[in-house]
Structure 1
Amino acid sequence: MESNKTTHILLFFLTFLSLTYSDIFLNPGIPQTLENYKLYFFENWPYSVSLLFILLAHEMGHYLPARYYGVRASLPYFIPLPFGPIGTMGAVIKINDQIPNKKVLFDIGVGGPAVSLILSLVAWIIGISLSKVVEIPSNIDRSGFLFFGDSAFTYFSTQWILGPIDFTTMDIQAHPLAKAGWVGLLVTAINLLPFGQLDGGHVIYSMFGESYRKWIHILFGLFLIFALVHFTWLVWGFLIYYVLKVEHPFIKDAMYGIGKTRFLFGILILVSFLIIFVPKPIIIGSEYDNPTLLDDLIRLIVKTVGISD
């Protein structure tokens, strides 16, 4: 059954609003005046438009290969989130047919993150080039601020373009395009987690087949270590285990496999995941300098076994 196009358009529009106004909507610290809403519109529309384009392109990267192979799929459902610093939970499409084989599964699964990865990298590079380095006042109270964490890519690209930067005394006044690139990379990284029905789960299952069931739970256990670094990954661990599942449902092999080119491209995509993965995505100012649970655990182990410098 065809999905109602009105629903898709309405969710798209609501997501644009939530991206634009998530910082001000029902925020008791900001007066809810028409003038302020106008101000936030003109400040945030580059973020909203560019991130919506990245999300739309990601879903089209799934939708178009699905249609090419004759697999019925819905148009994208955008998910608005009017609270918090990001303003959305991304977008999804619904696959309405059984995927015929692992080659088709690979093409449908890899298309979305491949497209959003490229667009997010471009948005980040341009946006961070337009951003400014600002000095943090020595007496500032950080507890009321939120900080966006770094992946290996965002950290080293920032140092290369704007650096050298000492983040203990300096911060980035990010251009809206840089924020869109950062969120796009985060969404891409989450989708590339190699489990269950996530894009990374489609890709890694297509590449390694049924043999991957021997070690995918070990990989999931290693992933849970990041829950000791940031609570976000505990939430995702719960969702993966109980909703998205650790293992991928059975899909039959393609007659001649997925081919060497697809396999190498899959390796490239999985390596890119390691580069753009953010261990601590959003940091509350009051916890900025606090050790993580992993830090505390390592210190406890060191103290227990009697290792010293």
Structure 2
Amino acid sequence: MSDADSQQVPRPPQLDAVFHVSDVRTDGDRVLYYGVSDVDEEELTRRVWPAFREQGYEVQVARTDRGLDVVVARPYSTGVDGVPWTNVALLCATLLSTLLVGATAWYYIPFGAILDNPLLALEAWPFTAAVLGVLLTHELGHYVVGRYHGVDVSLPYVIPFILPFGTMGAIIRMRGQMPDREALFDIGVAGPLAGLAATVVVTVVGLSLGPFPVPAELLSEGAQVIQFHDPPLLDLIADALGRQTSYDQPGLTVHPVIMGAWVGMFFTVLNLLPVGQLDGGHIVRAMVGERQETVASLVPLALFGIAAYLHFGRGLSLNDSVGLWAFWGLFSAFIAYRGPANPIDDSALGPKRKALGVLTFALGLLCFLLVPIEVVVV
């Protein structure tokens, strides 16, 4: 007798139609069905998943070391359980790191002065609001659409860091299974589109604030500074508003809020790389199916090619974006190796979503630069 006999467990007829159950056991909130399947693992999951989902469970199929198949059903989450303390702690830490980095690197407040009076770091709140506003809007786009499709996704985790922005970005965890290509596409595309909308708003605000003064001591002859080049989208918005993104007068630069827009555009490019479980990987997997893995295998080669071209063809150093693209070549190879998210129902997308996917990548190209950063001598 199994330890599930005295408990009410889901047993949809779709399971018995293709799976010969020999034992049912419980392990915490999980229900494990041992037996032999008439179909392969992928087909078994596809057939029983909708029925289990209607009863509030998600299923995965595995194989025991005794050669038996096992269907594992576990309740799926429909919301946030309790206070997400990890998310809150990371958000607080990132608020502090972006304020500190913003104050010292972009508002030119000496670090010693902040040690004497920590409240001086609050002068950088527009920078922090711009950077975190763009990143969180991107991730909340994924979160809202994920919840709409009934996929178990976490609230955003923002990651504190040091220079140049005080953060390494933000992520969400997709803990649940993907029901179909439409859900995979919608979740993947929602982040970049929401983030780009926030980026445009931040760009308009930053440009309207006008130039920002740079202390004269930072402009001494022969000093090296990191120059962040303008993505095409930033120039297009500036031209439409009749605003400048550079100034001939020494000692003037764009307002630090513009760096929030730059971060939004650069992270859009990175997230749209069509590899693994990045946004671009989700979108392309939904659009072209399993051929996405062929596309993903070419991405690291393309990024290494860009790094090689910049170094050997244009003579740029590792600091001048060469190292940046080489790093992302390695990182994308790792992500591609882990593979994409595979939907339960692999039916093809309709033409409207495919057109939206093409548009999203086109908008991403407006944020792309061969040389995003460069070390220059003033």
Q: 2:40 matched to which residue of 1?
A: none
Superposed, 1:150-161 pairs within 5 Å as: 150-158=230-238, 161=242
- Flag the 1:51–1:163 CA change in 2: closer, same or farther, 3 A: closer
Q: 2:284 matched to which residue of 1?
A: 204
Q: 1:268 matched to which residue of 2?
A: 359
Q: Give yes or no for contact 2:300–2:330 (8 Å, CA) kept in 1.
A: no
Q: Give % identity.
A: 30
Deviation at 1:51, TM superposition (A): 2.2
String of CA shifts for 1:204-253, please: whole Å, max 9, x gaps. Answer: 12112223444443344223222233211111111111245385254355
Higher relative contact order (CA 8 A, sep 6+): 1
Q: Give yes or no for contact 2:156–2:172 (8 Å, CA) kept in 1.
A: yes
One-letter amino acid matched to 2:325 = W
One-letter amino acid matched to 1:41 = L
Question: In the alignment, does 2:229 pair up with 1:146?
Answer: no
TM-score, normalised by the number of residues in structure 1? 0.79
Deviation at 1:199, TM superposition (A): 0.4
Alpha-carbon distance in structure 2 between the residues aligned to 1:285 and 1:126: 27
The partner residue of 2:206 within 123, 127, 133 is 127
Question: In the alignment, does 2:145 pair up with 1:65?
Answer: yes
Deviation at 1:74, TM superposition (A): 1.3
One-letter amino acid matched to 1:241 = A
Alpha-carbon distance in structure 1 between the residues aligned to 2:139 and 2:363: 19
Q: 1:55 matched to which residue of 2?
A: 135
The partner residue of 1:112 within 166, 175, 191 is 191
- Flag the 1:39–1:234 CA change in 2: closer, same or farther, 3 A: same
Deviation at 1:34, TM superposition (A): 4.2
Alpha-carbon distance in structure 2 between the residues aligned to 1:116 and 1:267: 17
Q: 1:41 matched to which residue of 2?
A: 122
Q: 2:350 matched to which residue of 1?
A: 259
The partner residue of 1:242 within 322, 334, 339 is 334
One-letter amino acid matched to 1:15 = T
Q: Give yes or no for contact 1:74–1:93 (8 Å, CA) kept in 2.
A: yes
Q: 2:30 matched to which residue of 1?
A: none
Deviation at 1:154, TM superposition (A): 2.2
One-letter amino acid matched to 2:111 = I
Q: How many residues align?
A: 282
Determine helix, strand or coil for the equivalent of 2:111.
coil
Alpha-carbon distance in structure 2 between the residues aligned to 1:63 and 1:46: 25
Alpha-carbon distance in structure 2 between the residues aligned to 1:23 and 1:181: 14
Q: 1:191 matched to which residue of 2?
A: 271
Question: In the alignment, does 2:164 pair up with 1:85?
Answer: yes
One-letter amino acid matched to 2:140 = M
String of CA shifts for 1:249-303, please: whole Å, max 9, x gaps. Answer: 5435544x321211111111101111102333332335x9xxxxxxxxxxxxxxx
- Flag the 1:202–1:3 CA change in 2: closer, same or farther, 3 A: farther
Alpha-carbon distance in structure 2 between the residues aligned to 1:251 and 1:143: 53
Q: Give yes or no for contact 1:121–1:185 (8 Å, CA) kept in 2.
A: no
TM-score, normalised by the number of residues in structure 2? 0.66
- Flag the 1:129–1:23 CA change in 2: closer, same or farther, 3 A: closer
Alpha-carbon distance in structure 2 between the residues aligned to 1:282 and 1:146: 7
Alpha-carbon distance in structure 2 between the residues aligned to 1:136 and 1:51: 23
Q: 1:279 matched to which residue of 2?
A: 370
Q: Give yes or no for contact 2:102–2:128 (8 Å, CA) kept in 1.
A: no
Query: Root-mean-square deviation (CA), in Å?
Result: 3.2
Superposed, 1:3-14 pairs within 5 Å as: 5-14=84-93
Q: Give yes or no for contact 2:193–2:360 (8 Å, CA) kept in 1.
A: yes
One-letter amino acid matched to 1:84 = L
Deviation at 1:108, TM superposition (A): 0.8
Determine helix, strand or coil for the equivalent of 2:357.
helix
String of CA shifts for 1:36-83, please: whole Å, max 9, x gaps. Answer: 5333321x10111232222222111111111112111111111001x2
- Flag the 1:132–1:25 CA change in 2: closer, same or farther, 3 A: closer
Alpha-carbon distance in structure 1 between the residues aligned to 2:267 and 2:86: 23
Gaps of 5+ in 1: 289-309
Gaps of 5+ in 2: 1-76, 311-320
Q: 1:96 matched to which residue of 2?
A: 175
Alpha-carbon distance in structure 2 between the residues aligned to 1:171 and 1:260: 51
Determine helix, strand or coil for the equivalent of 2:153.
coil
Alpha-carbon distance in structure 2 between the residues aligned to 1:30 and 1:135: 16
Greater radius of gyration (CA): 2
Alpha-carbon distance in structure 1 between the residues aligned to 2:222 and 2:343: 50
Q: Give yes or no for contact 2:233–2:366 (8 Å, CA) kept in 1.
A: yes
Q: Give yes or no for contact 2:273–2:299 (8 Å, CA) kept in 1.
A: no
String of CA shifts for 1:120-149, please: whole Å, max 9, x gaps. Answer: 012112212322288999x84353322212
Q: 1:162 matched to which residue of 2?
A: 243
